[in-house]
Structure 1
Amino acid sequence: MPRVSFAPPSLFLTFLPLLDRLLPSLPPTVRDVDVPPLFRERFILSGYRPVGLPWRCYVLSLFQIHNETLNVWSHLLAAVCVALRFMAFTILRGGGPEGQGFSADVSSLPLVLYALSAITYLSCSAVAHLLQSHSELSHYSMFLLDYVGVAVYQYGCAMALFLYSADTAWTQSMLGQVFLPAAALLAWFSCATCCYAKLRFRRPYPLHRKLCQVVPMGVAYLLDISPVAHRLATSSWTAGSALPLHFLQVVLFLLSAFFFSCPVPERFCPGCYDIVGHGHQLFHVLLSLCTLVQQEALFQDFLWRRPALVREFGEQRLLLACASFPCLTLCCTMTALAMRRRARAQLMKEQI
């Protein structure tokens, strides 16, 4: 009877050193006193990744437990869900009677840009929280990228809500006439003020640093959501399935804004919510749910408005609105790059 050998194959032994080099063991997390003040969060006392490790350590920390793990995974999974749901919608609702479904034409392009903007902001946020601990310059660079993603999403959302979710009477009002240019300007302004506040203020952050971030984004949100707010106030909620979803989206956003602005619950028990449950994590989870719910509402509104969209707005106006999307993205990117150069010069000056 032949003997059975349980020795690992030589090929496996050959690849072991390679795997060990590619997948190094990650150093343990450290306390707040072990990282520079720039990386510390109020009332979060542990779970920080050491600064100055090789880039691959931060990439691999995607599978490590630290105080950013839930921040990364909540938006990473939400980005995947947005992409998969959009693909499913385009397949299941492709074509349709009388052009009521999704098709590759100008009336569907704003919906494509909305999905792209949602994936962009979720991905930028996940990357920022995953890689920001590498160095001080990386910290600034990653969060400037995050602010660009948020601005892009703000305008993608505003454009989709204006074209698909607004009543015809509202789009023809005075606010409706200036809505898209104002939404683009506020999206860029909120990006610029967030970038400025990130570079201007040092820890412990003063209150006006938070106001410098929250107020412009809040004004932008009030404008962006105004078509939906008008419809919620004037239309019967039983007329379609989209309005309850829009209302739920507003509630989720307001809850997420509260946890973004207030360090709750960690404020009342410092160190108890370092890994799971602190305010920024709740903000991430609620904002992810808000985006998924909003996408479902826009799908319903798209099916409702698409047949008459070109007739109401005109193909040229729709193309112009869609063309403003990459222009805004470019403006926000250039602003972030200028701020990054300023951050780099500032850090170099401090090291002299």
Structure 2
Amino acid sequence: MIGGRHKNLIASSGKTNNVLDCEDGITVSLKEPKGMRLWEKLKYQLVEYHSLPGYLRDNEFILGYYRSEWPLKQVFLSMFSIHNETLNVWTHLIGFFLFLFLTIYTAVRAPMVVDFNSLQHLPKMIRSADLHKIHSELLNCMPSLPNMPDLLKFKNELRTSVTSLDFSSMSGWKVMELLSKCLPEQFSHANKSENHVLNGVKYEMVDVMAPLVVHPITRWPFFAFLGGAMFCLLASSTCHLLACHSQRLSYIMLRVDYAGIAALIATSFYPPVYYSFMCNPFFCFLYLGFITLLGIATIAFSLLPFFQKPEFRSYRASLFFAMGLSGVAPIIHKLILHKNQPEALQTTGYEILMGILYGLGALIYATRIPERWRPGKFDIAGHSHQLFHVLVVAGAYTHYRDGLVYLKWRDLKGC
């Protein structure tokens, strides 16, 4: 007490200070900046689960460290502070920047996919090849072929290109195209024998050089997947950051988040379906149309108000899981159609791993493991939604590697 026993305490506020008038005639002056700082600290404290408004109550096993109805400025700044959504924000925000980098890298550095490991013995084979005999054979079927100096120039360029791994400016592309057109039966793998020699050039060299005649296929299905992944990751990160601001913003952001998940699953089908069935347009458009319509229907369903309620958590997970499970049909069809292609098995392995990662993430999300075992112990780190985020990024990256195999396969072999 100040100056004895108090019966009444009246606080009056001004622009410059706060004044406390006591019954005993003692006045205590508090400077406003200190009082305001104390108020700010109290106002933006983290709260416990039972203090949350109903729309923010989603996981009763996470007991504390919640932000509740903060102003937008403090909400944005909270991405650099510790609370139970910090890792949810950053796991997918880092994932977004990872896929942004992969998109730029793929567009700039990998316009054509060539297995350079198979070219390690190419310089030696070029030196041992008799280009005069190749030229003579080509002249027999195509008299308009450029003169021998051009072939010698091609030989020198090929040596330089193998050393620098840069095939973008080789004049020899035209020569290799003429080889494939002029000598189709010799370039056919079906007629290859181990000891057969084509005019002094071993088939080993032909097998290595022929794939260099690359006609890059369209990249839009691959970039559609990368776009879907980036949209999903950025939408999720933004949702976890902003949903605590108000009920209306939470309503909007949750629907954007669900739309992002549906977009990721739908666009994940595009590279496998398009590149597996690009030579079978009927099945290509059938599978692409089906998954696109399913994705649109899922997004529309997620806009319904009841869809975001906590009691529908398992239904949300099951819907997205079923959407992903629909990819089993085109994968089996691909294996039947391309059973003799090693790329079919390789891509299927990636797709199975991706499905396991996504499925495990959905299971953890729906069951809320491990926080349901020890409520309050995983509030900051290690709860189910954070594990779900990590598995989504891992699954999406696995699918990116899968897409690179498809690009290499179709670039080199076409239909």
TM-score (norm 2): 0.60
Is residue 2:47 matched to residue 1:30?
yes
Cα distance change on mapping 1:202 and 1:112 into 2, 3 Å: closer
Unaligned segments of structure 2, at least 5 residues = 1-39, 113-167, 169-211
Shift, 1:130, TM fit: 0.7
Residues in 1 aligned to 2:346 and 2:71: alpha-carbon distance in whole angstroms: 50
Unaligned segments of structure 1, at least 5 residues = 1-23, 313-352
**SS of residue matched to 1:127:** helix
Q: Give the letter aligned to residue 118 of structure 1.
A: A
Task: Report what 1:261 is aligned to.
Answer: 366
Shift, 1:289, TM fit: 0.6
Shift, 1:308, TM fit: 6.4
**SS of residue matched to 1:121:** helix
Alignment size in residue pairs: 276
RMSD value, Cα? 3.0
Residues in 2 aligned to 1:123 and 1:213: alpha-carbon distance in whole angstroms: 20
Task: Report what 1:331 is aligned to.
Answer: none
Q: Deviations over 1:36-60 (max 9, x none)?
A: 1221222110110121x22121111
Q: Give the letter aligned to residue 288 of structure 2.
A: L
CA contact (8 A) 1:71 1:126 kept: yes
Cα distance change on mapping 1:193 and 1:42 into 2, 3 Å: farther
Shift, 1:201, TM fit: 6.2
CA contact (8 A) 1:242 1:300 kept: yes
Residues in 1 aligned to 2:384 and 2:340: alpha-carbon distance in whole angstroms: 35
Q: Give the letter aligned to residue 65 of structure 2.
A: G
**SS of residue matched to 2:234:** helix
Residues in 1 aligned to 2:236 and 2:340: alpha-carbon distance in whole angstroms: 36
CA contact (8 A) 1:253 1:287 kept: yes
Work out which of the residue numbers 263, 268, 287 in structure 2 matches 1:152.
Answer: 263
Greater relative contact order (Cα 8 A, min sep 6): structure 1 or 2?
1
TM-score (norm 1): 0.69
Residues in 1 aligned to 2:327 and 2:231: alpha-carbon distance in whole angstroms: 18
Residues in 1 aligned to 2:317 and 2:250: alpha-carbon distance in whole angstroms: 20
Residues in 1 aligned to 2:110 and 2:73: alpha-carbon distance in whole angstroms: 41
Task: Report what 2:329 is aligned to.
Answer: 226
Residues in 1 aligned to 2:213 and 2:370: alpha-carbon distance in whole angstroms: 52
**SS of residue matched to 1:86:** helix
Is residue 2:274 matched to residue 1:163?
yes
Residues in 1 aligned to 2:281 and 2:221: alpha-carbon distance in whole angstroms: 19
CA contact (8 A) 1:232 1:247 kept: no
Q: Give the letter aligned to residue 64 of structure 2.
A: S
Residues in 2 aligned to 1:82 and 1:118: alpha-carbon distance in whole angstroms: 7
**SS of residue matched to 1:266:** coil
**SS of residue matched to 2:62:** coil
**SS of residue matched to 1:30:** coil
Residues in 2 aligned to 1:286 and 1:228: alpha-carbon distance in whole angstroms: 22
Cα distance change on mapping 1:178 and 1:167 into 2, 3 Å: closer
CA contact (8 A) 1:189 1:216 kept: no
Task: Report what 2:208 is aligned to.
Answer: none
Is residue 2:200 matched to residue 1:200?
no
Task: Report what 1:98 is aligned to.
Answer: 213
CA contact (8 A) 2:324 2:355 kept: no
Q: Which deviates the most, 53-62 or 222-231?
A: 222-231
Residues in 2 aligned to 1:86 and 1:271: alpha-carbon distance in whole angstroms: 39
Between the aligned residues of both structures, percent identity stands at 26
**SS of residue matched to 1:268:** coil
Q: Give the letter aligned to residue 94 of structure 1.
A: P
Q: Deviations over 1:174-198 (max 9, x none)?
A: x6552122111110121122222xx
CA contact (8 A) 2:87 2:386 kept: yes
After TM superposition, list the pairs within 5 Å mapping 1:125-140 onto structure 2: 125-140=236-251
Is residue 2:97 matched to residue 1:80?
yes
Is residue 2:76 matched to residue 1:68?
no
**SS of residue matched to 1:267:** coil
Q: Which has the larger radius of gyration?
A: 2
Task: Report what 2:68 is aligned to.
Answer: 50
Q: Deviations over 1:147-170 (max 9, x none)?
A: 222222233222222112x3578x
Residues in 1 aligned to 2:326 and 2:404: alpha-carbon distance in whole angstroms: 21
Residues in 2 aligned to 1:245 and 1:137: alpha-carbon distance in whole angstroms: 40
Q: Deviations over 1:188-220 (max 9, x none)?
A: 121122222xx22686x43xx235423432332
Q: Give the letter aligned to residue 386 of structure 2.
A: Q
Cα distance change on mapping 1:120 and 1:202 into 2, 3 Å: closer
CA contact (8 A) 2:357 2:395 kept: yes
Cα distance change on mapping 1:134 and 1:185 into 2, 3 Å: same
Residues in 2 aligned to 1:232 and 1:57: alpha-carbon distance in whole angstroms: 53
